[in-house]
Structure 1
């Protein structure tokens, strides 16, 4: 089933369930957000990659307008709802300033592999431990999805878009697993190199071997 939806292309990939804060400053998108507030409409955020609007995006809803600046700029909070496919893109909706398009919802199968999920969890914890950064698992429920951690995996924008293209959760898990297995050895070797560089010029406690 197709429908007409306002669109807000951005140089990023937005996932279902994601809480996204945006600063709105262009008149066309200020008009869109004002209509979202007064009528409750939603809008789509397709990824703008390689100088064009991509075929896939995420439908989002406005949660709140946090602040309106003196010149009318807005700080807003939004939440991703579902993946959409843009069938037709129009630079301006009828009698509006903002873009729009004919879209259809993309079905999503939640068919995760729990064994693979455990492996992914262990790999991410290992990655964060190597990097010495805060872990996000403290605030993630057991039933979290790949979309909930996708921005924390060191993926490029193009790779995040590939993740959006996956037809189901299992495909996303497999993609993330392969990505982690590829980058973990690289990150580990980089951290070892940094430690060796730090030791340069230091007095070393050299213990000769026993012959």
Structure 2
């Protein structure tokens, strides 16, 4: 892996789910600390870090976030029918948190090391079944990916991240797949997990 890039003092949003590079995230924003975070990102064009919650809850007292997460860039805002702010964000680079602090309003901020994007690797022929499975999952669960170019399915990184977000995995499995830095190894782990769903 290439040298990591340091970024100090990024806002972090601990969530009960894992965001992958290229993934889509819809959030309902109602706590003051996160409204301020969204305002900051909109003003500066910056992003916030999404980390899986290891301890605690999404709302209320600050939660303990996982050390490895994904940057989220806000791509759309909308007012929801319930009167709350809705945002759509897209997953960017992965990062590791090196230090965290909690502001007086409860917002967790951290110093992070950005991970470089994974290099493009063609999907080995022994994982062709995973391409077919992803096509079926997208058809039923992720219509926003239906028009994805065919070459995306041939990219081991894209294929693995999309399967990891669509398969009904445990959150610790999702986090482990996020932290893998070899896209072919990620595909191998996903292939080994599949029999569990076929027996169901």
Q: Give the TM bin, normalised by the shorter chain.
A: 0.7 to 0.9
* Cα 1:135/1:38, change in 2 over 3 Å: closer
Measured on the aligned residues, the alpha-carbon RMSD in Å equals 2.6
Q: Which residue number in structure 2 is paired with residue 25 of structure 1?
A: 30
How many residue pairs get aligned? The number is: 178
Taking the aligned partners of 2:22 and 2:141, their CA distance within structure 1 comes to 19
Q: Is the 8 A contact 1:110 1:168 kept in 2?
A: no
- Map 1:186-201 onto structure 2 (within 5 A): 186-187=199-200
5+ residue gaps, structure 1: 188-211
- Map 1:54-93 onto structure 2 (within 5 A): 54-67=66-79, 73-92=84-103
Deviation at 1:115, TM superposition (A): 0.8
In structure 2, the residue corresponding to 1:154 is in which secondary structure? coil
Q: Is the 8 A contact 1:14 1:58 kept in 2?
A: yes
Taking the aligned partners of 1:154 and 1:117, their CA distance within structure 2 comes to 19
Instruction: Confirm whether residue 38 of structure 1 aligns to residue 48 of structure 2.
Output: no
Larger Rg: 1
Q: Per-residue displacement from partner, 1:11-30 (whole Å, max 9, x unpaired)?
A: 11111111111000110000
Larger strand percent: 2
5+ residue gaps, structure 2: 57-63
* Cα 1:66/1:179, change in 2 over 3 Å: same
Moved over 6 A (4+): 68-71
Q: Which residue number in structure 2 is paired with residue 6 of structure 1?
A: 11
Provide TM-score, normalisation by structure 1.
0.74
In structure 2, the residue corresponding to 1:113 is in which secondary structure? coil
